[in-house]
Amino acid sequence: MTENISTDEVVVLCDESINSNAMHQTQSVQPKVTKERKKRSRAWNHFGLFVDEEGNKKSKCKHCGQDYFADSVKNGTKAMLTHMLTCTKMPKSVDKSQTQIGFQSVQGGNTSDVVVVSWKFEQEQCRRALCRMVIVDELPFKFVEKEGFRNFMKVAQPRFKIPSRTTVTRDCFKLFDEEKQKLKIFFGEARQRVCLTTDTWTSLQRINYMCITAHWIDNEWIMHKRIINFCPISSHKGEDMANEIMKCLRDWGLDKIFTITVDNASSNDVTVKELSKIFTKRGINFMNGEHLHVRCMAHILNLVVQDGLKVSVVSIERVRKAVKYIRLSPARCKRFQECCEDVDINCKKSLCLDVSTRWNSTYLMLNRAIEFENVFSSYAARDIGLLHYLQFVEDEDGKDEHRSVVGALLSDDWDNVRKIANFLQIFYDLTREVSGSHYVTANSHFLKICEVSCYLKQLISSEEDNEDLLGKIASNMREKFDKYWGTPKKMNKMIFISCVLDPRHKFVSVGFALQMMFGKEGPILENGVRDYMDLLFGEYVKSLSKDKGSQHSSSLSISSFENSTSLLSSSENEVESKNFNILSWWKINSPRFPVLAEMARDVLAIPISSVASECAFSTGGRILDSFRSSLTPKLVQTLVCLQDWIRSESQPKSVEEDIDVLEQLEQDLANTSILDD
């Protein structure tokens, strides 16, 4: 039996069948949706993805707009990563990635001693290091734009963006301001007084510069020196120089000035007097400025020796001419070297010619010539021209004197040269000793003066030497010596106090030295030193009493005075002189003698020469050479001061070359070239 179905039902069944087939076809046609992969390269932090008109996938720098092809299969991200290293508009971001391992040399150790440290590239640190390199090595600012340096940095650290010379100049000014602010804070917090040295210099720009250097001993008993000004001055007049120094002191906030060490120029006398008046008006002139003016000992020694060498010394002139003759020709120098080999002298040194106005260079010339005494005789046998060159030498009356020649020089020339060299060595070593600025020199000032006085007196009083060459030289030197150190009134009283504060000497050595120099007046002069010491001690007691409170004033004064009297009057040598460090001794004993310790910190910081300021002119001369003569005075000051502040005081710069190493290197290169051929 057949089931009957209505027409409407047939229509509904057809529609359902059609819809079902349509849905099935639609599901089969739709594409499969895949999840987009996350971009893992750090380049996409700075690049955006787009499609150009031709349908190519590209990336565009978000900072400068530079675009690159960015198909994930064909191109990759290498071009984008390279662009990030050179993009000028790329922001300076802090690298938070893992640090790398590096090796750093150990301070104070051997050259091979290294320690492993963590390292991470930082643009600002590299720029700061570059700025310091330009300052310390005295490089021109355009050095950073040179092709060689840029190629080197591409290999060493391609991530470093090399600044322009204008940017480096701005970095120097910024660094100067930062370091100056640190020093200002230190001076503001420090209690000790500051000693100054100053000198003037004229650059090739015909600009007069003044250098002012501060010296002090800190609370850890470490000695410091810093150039605090290198500025142009309007003139060399004493008043103008005093005003410039006061301007500098106000800028640094310094009002505790203990001494000022200068050379013996007459304008410096006026400068110190004007400064003393200004200090008195401001109420900061300690002890009424009685010890403010310190004369440079190295400069006085230079004047003393120069006066002595004014005696016409034929032997010195003959050695000078012989050295000049040989050095005039490379062929003669080579012949002289051959003579050294003939007499079995294996010396890497060479002859040096002096500057007649500088006695220390004369000493070095004579000292070097003595080492080649036998070589000169051998050379004269090969080169007859030297004998003819030395036959005529001006005598003391200025007339040409013909004398017999034995070898290259006269028979008695070498004896005279040896005497003069030994005589000058005492003053040469003394000048080097008192010219230091990184160690205490004030404590030996007076004793060195006493040694020179006794030495000259001995040469003059000897009947044999009175008519001899050294007797004449010593007589001339004694006249100049007495001009500056002939009486205690001509000496700064601090040179006695500094010797008293040395536990190896105390009043015992001072009294003995005064008696050696001035005879029967010695004990009277020693009493004067004691009286001045008492006055100075009283001033320091008042100063410390203000800091600790008035209630401790009397007890501090009595106890400190009794302790200091027992210390300074003791004749027992309680310290060993070998490897003795006076600053370490005072650091250990400062709790026992608090007042004397404060006094010693100021007195022992006094530099007895102005060499520290004069050395800055050598730096200024190298910075202001003929290729950098357009530098402004402000920039010159920045470079000179920063170099002094940055350089490590414990590791002085060595500019000497190891000749043996260089010759071995040349020999190795020569052997290598032979093997290659």
Which of 221-235, 363-377, 549-563, 645-659 has the lowest average pLDDT?
A: 549-563
Q: Tell me, what DSSP letter sits at residue 654?
A: -
Rounded to 10 degrees, the C-alpha dihedral 76/81/83/85 comes to: -170
Angstrom distance (rounded) from CA 598 to CA 10: 121
Same domain for 592 and 468 = yes
Instruction: Provide the pLDDT confidence category of residue 2 given band limits of 50, 70 and 90.
Output: very low
Same domain for 542 and 487 = yes
Question: What is the three-class DSSP state of 193?
Answer: coil
514-524 average pLDDT score:
89
Question: Is 53 part of a structural domain of the chain?
Answer: yes
Domain of 73?
Answer: 43-82
Instruction: Provide the pLDDT confidence category of residue 12 given band limits of 50, 70 and 90.
Output: very low
pLDDT at position 345, please?
78
Same domain for 598 and 485 = yes
Give 58-98 pLDDT, tens digit per residue: 899 988 888 998 887 778 888 888 888 888 777 765 444 55
The residues, ordered by sequence, that sit 6+ positions from 195 with a Cβ below 8 Å of its Cβ are 214, 215, 216, 257, 258, 259, 260, 261, 602, 605, 606, 607
Residue 558 one-letter amino acid: I
Angstrom distance (rounded) from CA 208 to CA 263: 17
pLDDT at position 677, please?
44
Instruction: Provide the pLDDT confidence category of residue 228 given band limits of 50, 70 and 90.
Output: very high
Same domain for 597 and 448 = yes
Question: Is 656 part of a structural domain of the chain?
Answer: no
Last-in-domain residue among 174, 189, 204: 189
Residue 645 has pLDDT above 50, yes or no: yes
Question: Is 518 part of a structural domain of the chain?
Answer: yes
**Of residues 630 and 252, more confidently modeled:** 252
Give 427-480 pLDDT, tens digit per residue: 998 888 888 878 888 888 898 899 999 988 888 877 454 457 788 888 889 989
Same domain for 547 and 443 = yes
Angstrom distance (rounded) from CA 648 to CA 665: 30
Backbone torsions φ then ψ of 394, nearest 5 degrees: -65, 135
pLDDT at position 213, please?
92
Give 227-244 as a 3 state SS string: EEEEEECCCCCHHHHHHH
Residue 5 has pLDDT above 70, yes or no: no
pLDDT at position 648, please?
61
DSSP 69-120: E--TTTT-SHHHHHHHHH-TT-------S--EEEEEEPTTS-TT-EEEEEE-
Which of 401-410, 639-648, 653-662 has the lowest average pLDDT?
A: 653-662
Same domain for 618 and 556 = no
Same domain for 616 and 598 = no
367-389 average pLDDT score:
83
Q: Strand 257-262 vs strand 194-202: parallel, antiparallel, or unpaired? A: parallel
Instruction: Provide the pLDDT confidence category of residue 107 given band limits of 50, 70 and 90.
Output: low
Give 18-67 pLDDT, tens digit per residue: 455 544 444 444 555 555 566 778 888 888 888 888 888 889 998 888 89
Number of domains observed in the structure of the chain: 5
Alpha helices in 253-396 (DSSP H): 266-282, 297-308, 314-327, 330-342, 359-371, 373-382, 384-390
CB < 8 Å & 24+ apart, contacts of 512-515: 513/446, 513/447, 513/450, 514/488
CB < 8 Å & 24+ apart, contacts of 370-373: 370/414, 370/417, 370/418, 370/421, 371/345, 371/347, 372/336, 372/340, 372/345, 372/347, 373/414
Give 529-555 pLDDT, tens digit per residue: 999 999 999 888 887 776 655 444 444
pLDDT at position 349, please?
76
- Helices 553-569 + 522-548 axis angle, to 10: 150
Question: Is 651 part of a structural domain of the chain?
Answer: no
Same domain for 203 and 180 = no
Question: Over the chain, what is the mean pLDDT?
Answer: 79
Question: Is 625 part of a structural domain of the chain?
Answer: yes
**Of residues 186 and 275, more confidently modeled:** 275
Query: What CATH number should be reported for the domain holding residue 630?
Result: 3.30.420
Q: Which helix (H) or strand (E) holds 443?
A: none
**Of residues 394 and 499, more confidently modeled:** 499
Last-in-domain residue among 424, 449, 468: 424
Last-in-domain residue among 57, 82, 107: 82
Question: Is 89 part of a structural domain of the chain?
Answer: no
Question: Is 250 part of a structural domain of the chain?
Answer: yes
Same domain for 382 and 259 = no
**Of residues 7 and 367, more confidently modeled:** 367
Which of 254-263, 401-410, 532-541 has the lowest average pLDDT?
A: 401-410
Same domain for 272 and 420 = no
Question: Is 6 part of a structural domain of the chain?
Answer: no
126-141 average pLDDT score:
90
Q: In angstroms, what CA-CA distances link 463 with 413, 439, 467, 516, 620?
A: 22, 41, 7, 20, 49
Q: How big is the chain by its Cα radius of gyration, in Å?
A: 39
The rounded Cα 158 to chain-centroid distance in angstroms is 33
Give 561-610 pLDDT, tens digit per residue: 445 555 665 544 556 566 788 999 999 988 888 889 999 999 999 999 88
Same domain for 184 and 198 = no
Instruction: Provide the pLDDT confidence category of residue 166 given band limits of 50, 70 and 90.
Output: very high
Alpha helices in 549-607 (DSSP H): 553-569, 582-589, 594-603
Same domain for 417 and 282 = no
pLDDT at position 587, please?
92
129-133 average pLDDT score:
92
